Structure 1
Amino acid sequence: MSTKTIASAIKFSELTGLLEKIKKIQGKSSLDQKKRLLSNFIAKWREAHNTYYKGKATDDSFYSAMRLIMPHLEKERGPYGTKETMLAKSYISILQIGEESADGRKLKHFSAPKHTKGDESDFAGVAYYVLKDRLADKTSLTIQDVNDALDAIALANANKDKVLKEKKLLYLLQNTSALDNKWLIRMILRDMKLGFSQHSVFTTFHQDAEDYFNVCTSLQKVCQRLHNPSVRMHEIEITVFEPFRPMLGDRGQPNKVESLFGGKEFFIETKYDGERMQLHKDKDEYKYFSRGGLEYSKTYGANAFDGNFTPQIHNCFLPEVKSCILDGEMMAYDASTDTIMTKGGSFDVKVENLFDKKGYTPCMSIFDVLMFNGKVLTNLPLRERVKYLEEVLVPVQGRIMLGDRKLGKTKQDCADALNNAIDNREEGIMVKDPESIYKPNVRTGGWYKIKPEYVGGLMDELDLLIVGGYMGKGRRSNMMSHFLCAVAVPTDDGSHPKVFHSFCKVGTGYSIDELRQFNDEIDWLKYNKDKAPDCIVLAQGFKEKPDAWVPPSKAYIVQVKAAEITASRSFKTGYTLRFPRVEKFRTDKNWYDCMTTTELEDLRNKSQGKLAGRHADVSEESESPKKKRKLAPRQERATVASQFRGIDTSTVLKISEMFAGKEFSVINGSAKYSKQSLEKKIVEYGGTIVQNPSSDTYCVLAEKVALKVKNLISRNIYDIVKVDWFVRCFESNTYIPWVPSDMIHTSAITAERFAQEYDRYGDSYYNDTGTEQIKQAFAKIGEEKDGTSLMTEDVAEIEMKYFPDECPLGIFRLARVYVDVNHTVNNSESHIPNSPLEITSLDLRFYGATIADTIDDDVSHVVLHSGDVSRVKKFRDLNRKRDKKFHILTDTWVLDSIKSSRMMPERGYEPHC
């Protein structure tokens, strides 16, 4: 470089030496020590800067070092197009290492065990041990030299110039030490593994650095503007044509909004399922930026004549608008049905040819304005900012709209708005403090997002993180066809999760093309069971280890639909999903926004394991659960009659050790054996008794399902056994293992064991069946209220076992469908002869669905003809009254599902009236 900079006077080895020291510091005070080292380095840089420039204005700053310390945040330099495998090939070629030599194999198979030492488990660490005897200990390069070379590599990659790229890599390799190369590789891979968060780096540089980066998303601007640590950024600076991180909403619950706002009014807005987008306008020039700061001006149009969006909305702006910055949601609009499409459908609103492929057009809903004619509005309260929107533009349906907004004050207002969003298949609602100011990249500024999946039991769709893959067979060969999904363990400090617990395995719901595309977007790593990643925790003894895994920070969320959450020892959570299928690969969502273990437990408890969409009802949580738990024991103790109390066992003589070490709780006795006589027998045969069961209780004995038994059943953690089983044991003086017919209720663990040993009617898979067992099995079948439903789930289980990819004739196997061949919801009118829906009904049955004659409690789907939506409102009204919602769809959903050989996600097929 012709111009001298501070970076051209500081050796690159000084920076790598600093990084190595920071990496090695461990212990309780490690963070303070790391900050002190970095602070000293920055202070030395600033001192040199002040000495050299003597207060003169300059663009030279700490940016040259900062972009190397945090390369993952560097956006000025393009991608290098170089991963570990390509670097290994380049190093082998440049250093002329034999590919099959020990060092060559180490570089090519760096993730294999025993190739690394200490904590150097990444490619950079392996390369260090290969290079340390081949390279000089000192480097001649400065920080500026390294940045220039990396800029050249990025440019060569953009121009597809492999020769120049290799030449620059050779230049860096020949002029740096092995230690320098270790950190250089991490810079190229943009994964530093410092054990030092970006928050710590920012706060060490300047107390306002992270806040300002969230506004401008530019390391260069942060380093230039905040060079002096004593100068504060008192006001957030938002500049036209410069992207910033938008303000975000914290998760909320309808029943908590009143306490959140202290009884004051709040804004309720529709949360559309689109792409968060900033619109910047300066005279006749436009720019568009995504939530992550990526620019899409080429797609939408930089002026009134280019793109698929700007030409349509240019004249919507009022003449007096010279410049503005708008915050909103970009969606797809279907003009043929006058419908805003959800992002859950199979399209990307950011692609240029959206209109050509789907017949949709971009449509933007504006909900905030942050600049108006050069005036920054972020410090104004929201209620004042939204008034400016009317001075900015005239909305046009399907093009650019002002977000709908209404006032609310109670939790019922919030629940009603959420239920409307559920009916309209929208993503949810936003609840905002009218007095809130705009704080970029902040979740705690008075905005709350309330979505059905955040409220236990309202949704049957879960956002899970794909952390592992299983190699496919047949037409799915050479790619991962099934996926291991996990949920996040929340952190105490609210930071991004670092540990994930396995939850389920899913392998259906997507097309082969979607599967190929998804595999192409993931950089799979081979799973090594002897060196398993710490961030992904599997169940102990889990047999089906994945063939490959992906670091959570590079993984994608998948939207999974299922029928039920069931107990399982095969996954770390202790639970899994029954009949899971993929609704959509949500590559638009951040990896850390997946479901957490806390949310899973809350959902399981509130829905009793059953996953079915329903409406929000704040009255369900009107009474505090803590109150109920405190009151219940007092009420029970006050009403226990003498005949139900325990006996004094101090004088009972032990005659057997049959039940030694086992604790029982007897609720009631039989006609032959009272509660007291059973308790005496328990002690005689070596057991112990308690009046209230605990986690140590072996089982609960009961003859009648009384109130206390019902309460214990609702807790779903105890084995409740019939008295007859215990009587048979002591009368025969033999311990008899439980069988399903002995049980009033089974715990999750026992239920899982029974599922492996018995069919659903209690018939053993392993033991010979006698006359009595056959009678009990047939009696159990007779007790079931719906033989068809039982048979359906049995068939579905078989299909999942033998057709794991997707059973072609079982597309709708778990669906119970009401086909609207009649003219009214209550079926009071006669059947319509020759209705086109009769063919639809036959198609549904042929592909596995159960057809319901009426809309009973188990109906999951209602199908209408696409040409007649006159009764949609009546079905929606009926849906509101139900605990379990059904999907209201058109027959197009059936046809598309059959055509695709999979049950299509219901989103996008709802009729609009």
Structure 2
Amino acid sequence: MKPATKFKELVAVFEQLEATASNLKIMDLLADFFSHITPEEARLTAYLLRGKVAPDYEGLELGLAKKLVMRSLAQAWGTPLKEVENRFQKTGDLGDVAARIAPQREGGELSIQEVFAELQTIARASGARSQEVKIQILAALLSRCSPQEAKYVTRIVLGTLRLGVAEMTFLYGLSKALTGTKEKKAILENAFNVLSDLGEVAYQAVKKGVEALQEVQPVIGIPIRMMLAQRVKDLEEVKKHLPGQVIVEYKYDGERIQAHISKQGEITLYSRRHEKITHQFPDIVAALGRALQGKEAIIEGEVVAIDPQIGKLQNFQILMTRRRKHGVEEYVRKVPVKYFIFDILYFEGKSLLKTPLSQRKEVLTRHFPDSDGLTLAKYIMTGDVEEMEGFFAEAIEQGGEGVVLKDVTSIYEAGTRGWKWIKFKKDYRRELADTFDLVVVGGIYGTGRRAGTYGSLLVAAFNPETNKYYSFTKVGAGFTDQELARLPDRLAKYNLPEKYRLVETQIEADVWFEPALVMEITGAELTISPVHTVAKEELKKGGLALRFPRFLRWRDDKSPEQATTVQEIYELYTSIRR
């Protein structure tokens, strides 16, 4: 039997990852490490590399704030708490503090599995004394660590690991480790899109081989990564991508939700980011239970707030009042909702991911009759642009955002954004199509009435090919006074002493942030800037920038890797110039 891989070996990889901004180097480091570990170690390493102890859909958090971790550091080595606090004030990094106060020792006593087991125990601790239990377990674990091991354990617990291992980069590295080439990454990516769990993908790939993952199937209770739509600025463009008959469907201004219903009647609702939000919509859960009665399914739709007086669709901001831990029943009455179902991915033991959309619609029609709280998304089938225009106008009149146009023969391409689905919204009639979901990477201090908060935030687009974030604009307009006042607290967790190594910009920010928070913004036009870096390599004369940007809302339902990409912005720029 192969001896257990020591945690110190993984820590050595952490150190090398932290020291590079090269995506190719990151892939090579991952490939080398995954080529010699066991399937179970591969699973755990996949989580630890991203500072997690479980897949996102489990919602398992370590739950230790800085003050509690400081107490653990003090307990671990008998260091006065005041000294720990003073050191943190100087460095701003409790991981560095742990490395400095831990006694010098070589390490190597702890295996990856031992460290992971202790971290999971911390995450699962609950009850009246759970915080004290967490502090004690962490202190005991730290006391067995070398200084470098303690540094990274501390950062994992705090959620400040910041190694820059994006999902696609991880999959490229895993493919190279197991096949000697990156060419099999597509198989791993498809498996990840269905299982939404890098740990499980790594485990199965190391145990069975990459090829064994080609026919991975959906599982009730494990969210599937959602298929996404491209966009056009004119409905005439649709015919270039979708000739012939298309399904034209209302685009609702709500929250996209994937519902999993088991034969036993257990129902789980997942957000786009795979958070379990079942408790927020007990009315939808009850309606699904009545509709299916013992059948199992995975369906997708949009939950939308409904005006109780006239039955008209209401906007997203009203729906968000249902996002709460307390007072749920009160808001079920205050803000009634309806679930508009538009797709089915699994039914009665059979995956429908490779079934044409027209047939998936037939399954929905047969098994989901309209009822209180549930209805099928409204759609027509047509190849006529004028008819599409008329249906678009109807959707807007009814309170929708626009329409989604879908290839009737399309399979469900989990986790991908392609031309089989195309969205067209009411604000696309302007020159600048769509809004942008961008990642906050820096802040500029405010003056005058904005003193004490940020005057503007530097935001960036993501490039999955380079695993980097490229600055696009500084946004200061659109915030309410309340939102401005909350910015320092909202962003404090992500403060960095210097620019994150995977951020590309010529802007000098007053404060730098880990790329973590996503906001939706709009703007007037795209221009070329000497200081922003979106598509700089393609343009050769500066980067693309957004003029007159305005904040619309936070997109807590999106991760940084789900933000608008550099390629999307560049394609928009070239389409406008044509």
Instruction: Provide TM-score, normalisation by structure 2.
Output: 0.79
Aligned residue number for residue 91 of structure 1: 73
Matched, 1:107 2:88: yes
The answer on whether the counterparts of 1:502 and 1:538 sit within 8 Å (CA) in structure 2 is: no
User: Which residues of 2 match residues 741-760 of structure 1 at below 5 A?
Assistant: none
SS at structure 2 position matched to 1:109: helix
Is there any run of 5+ residues in structure 2 with no aligned partner, and where? 179-183, 534-542
Distance 1:565 1:250 in 2: 19
User: Which residues of 2 match residues 403-552 of structure 1 at below 5 A?
Assistant: 403-409=377-383, 413-444=387-418, 446-453=420-427, 456-457=430-431, 465-469=439-443, 480=453, 482-488=455-461, 491=463, 498-506=469-477, 509-510=479-480, 512=482, 514=483, 520-523=489-492, 531-533=498-500, 546=510, 548-552=511-515
Aligned residue number for residue 748 of structure 1: none
Deviation at 1:413, TM superposition (A): 4.9
Distance 2:342 2:129 in 1: 42
Q: Which amino acid aligns with 1:325?
A: I
Q: Which amino acid aligns with 1:327?
A: E
Q: Which amino acid aligns with 1:299?
A: Q
Matched, 1:144 2:113: yes
Distance 2:213 2:528 in 1: 53
Aligned residue number for residue 81 of structure 1: 63
Q: 1:69 aligns with which of 28, 49, 54?
A: 49
Matched, 1:282 2:282: no
Distance 2:345 2:448 in 1: 54
Q: Which amino acid aligns with 1:184?
A: V
Q: Which amino acid aligns with 1:203?
A: S
Aligned residue number for residue 375 of structure 2: 401
SS at structure 1 position matched to 2:330: helix
Distance 1:430 1:362 in 2: 21
Aligned residue number for residue 728 of structure 1: none
Deviation at 1:419, TM superposition (A): 4.6
Matched, 1:243 2:223: yes
The answer on whether the counterparts of 1:354 and 1:360 sit within 8 Å (CA) in structure 2 is: no
Deviation at 1:451, TM superposition (A): 3.1
Q: Which amino acid aligns with 2:470?
A: V
Aligned residue number for residue 187 of structure 1: 156
Deviation at 1:267, TM superposition (A): 1.5
Q: Which amino acid aligns with 1:200?
A: Y
Distance 1:28 1:378 in 2: 32
The structure-2 alpha-carbon separation of the partners of 1:311 and 1:222, relative to structure 1 and needing over 3 Å to count, comes to same
Aligned residue number for residue 557 of structure 1: 519
User: Which residues of 2 match residues 98-177 of structure 1 at below 5 A?
Assistant: 105-111=86-92, 124=95, 126-127=96-97, 130-131=100-101, 134-156=103-125, 160-177=129-146
Distance 2:573 2:192 in 1: 39
SS at structure 2 position matched to 1:347: helix
Matched, 1:364 2:339: yes
Distance 1:501 1:593 in 2: 16
Q: Which amino acid aligns with 2:10?
A: L
Deviation at 1:237, TM superposition (A): 0.7
The answer on whether the counterparts of 2:228 and 2:417 sit within 8 Å (CA) in structure 1 is: yes
Aligned residue number for residue 670 of structure 1: none
The answer on whether the counterparts of 2:297 and 2:348 sit within 8 Å (CA) in structure 1 is: yes
Aligned residue number for residue 308 of structure 2: 335
Q: Can you list the C-alpha shifts for 1:388-410, whole angstroms capped at 9, x where unaligned?
A: 112212113x6211112222325
Deviation at 1:131, TM superposition (A): 4.5
Distance 1:466 1:558 in 2: 11
User: Which residues of 2 match residues 812-831 of structure 1 at below 5 A?
Assistant: none
Is there any run of 5+ residues in structure 1 with no aligned partner, and where? 47-59, 112-121, 301-306, 607-620, 627-913
The answer on whether the counterparts of 1:559 and 1:584 sit within 8 Å (CA) in structure 2 is: yes
Q: Which amino acid aligns with 1:448?
A: I
SS at structure 2 position matched to 1:340: coil
Greater displacement, 194-203 / 244-253: 194-203
Greater displacement, 234-243 / 375-384: 234-243
User: Which residues of 2 match residues 222-301 of structure 1 at below 5 A?
Assistant: 222-223=201-202, 225-226=204-205, 227-229=207-209, 232-253=212-233, 254-261=235-242, 263-283=243-263, 284-300=265-281
The structure-2 alpha-carbon separation of the partners of 1:73 and 1:440, relative to structure 1 and needing over 3 Å to count, comes to farther
SS at structure 1 position matched to 2:201: helix
Q: Which amino acid aligns with 2:139?
A: L
User: Which residues of 2 match residues 197-208 of structure 1 at below 5 A?
Assistant: 197-204=169-176, 207=184, 208=187
Structure of higher RCO (CA pairs closer than 8 Å, 6+ residues apart): 2
Q: Which amino acid aligns with 2:474?
A: F
SS at structure 1 position matched to 2:152: helix
SS at structure 2 position matched to 1:188: helix
Aligned residue number for residue 907 of structure 1: none
Distance 1:518 1:130 in 2: 32
Aligned residues: 552
Distance 1:438 1:599 in 2: 21
Distance 2:193 2:529 in 1: 42
The structure-2 alpha-carbon separation of the partners of 1:65 and 1:460, relative to structure 1 and needing over 3 Å to count, comes to closer
Aligned residue number for residue 196 of structure 2: 217
Aligned residue number for residue 738 of structure 1: none
The structure-2 alpha-carbon separation of the partners of 1:13 and 1:555, relative to structure 1 and needing over 3 Å to count, comes to same
The structure-2 alpha-carbon separation of the partners of 1:14 and 1:524, relative to structure 1 and needing over 3 Å to count, comes to closer
Higher helix share: 2
SS at structure 1 position matched to 2:218: coil
Matched, 1:322 2:317: no
Aligned residue number for residue 354 of structure 2: 379
User: Which residues of 2 match residues 848-859 of structure 1 at below 5 A?
Assistant: none
The answer on whether the counterparts of 1:557 and 1:590 sit within 8 Å (CA) in structure 2 is: no
The answer on whether the counterparts of 2:30 and 2:174 sit within 8 Å (CA) in structure 1 is: no
Aligned residue number for residue 825 of structure 1: none
Q: Can you list the C-alpha shifts for 1:609-667, whole angstroms capped at 9, x where unaligned?
A: xxxxxxxxxxxx9xxx76xxxxxxxxxxxxxxxxxxxxxxxxxxxxxxxxxxxxxxxxx
Distance 2:23 2:360 in 1: 46
Deviation at 1:145, TM superposition (A): 2.1
The answer on whether the counterparts of 2:247 and 2:381 sit within 8 Å (CA) in structure 1 is: yes
Distance 1:223 1:292 in 2: 21
SS at structure 2 position matched to 1:244: coil
Distance 2:569 2:199 in 1: 41
The answer on whether the counterparts of 2:238 and 2:422 sit within 8 Å (CA) in structure 1 is: no
The answer on whether the counterparts of 2:110 and 2:145 sit within 8 Å (CA) in structure 1 is: yes
SS at structure 1 position matched to 2:268: strand
Distance 1:141 1:405 in 2: 58
The structure-2 alpha-carbon separation of the partners of 1:73 and 1:344, relative to structure 1 and needing over 3 Å to count, comes to farther
The answer on whether the counterparts of 1:139 and 1:175 sit within 8 Å (CA) in structure 2 is: no
Q: Which amino acid aligns with 2:151?
A: K
The structure-2 alpha-carbon separation of the partners of 1:524 and 1:70, relative to structure 1 and needing over 3 Å to count, comes to closer
Aligned residue number for residue 13 of structure 1: 8
Percent same amino acid among aligned pairs? Answer: 22
Measured on the aligned residues, the alpha-carbon RMSD in Å equals 4.3
Deviation at 1:412, TM superposition (A): 5.0
Distance 1:241 1:487 in 2: 34
Higher strand share: 2
Q: Can you list the C-alpha shifts for 1:828-865, whole angstroms capped at 9, x where unaligned?
A: xxxxxxxxxxxxxxxxxxxxxxxxxxxxxxxxxxxxxx
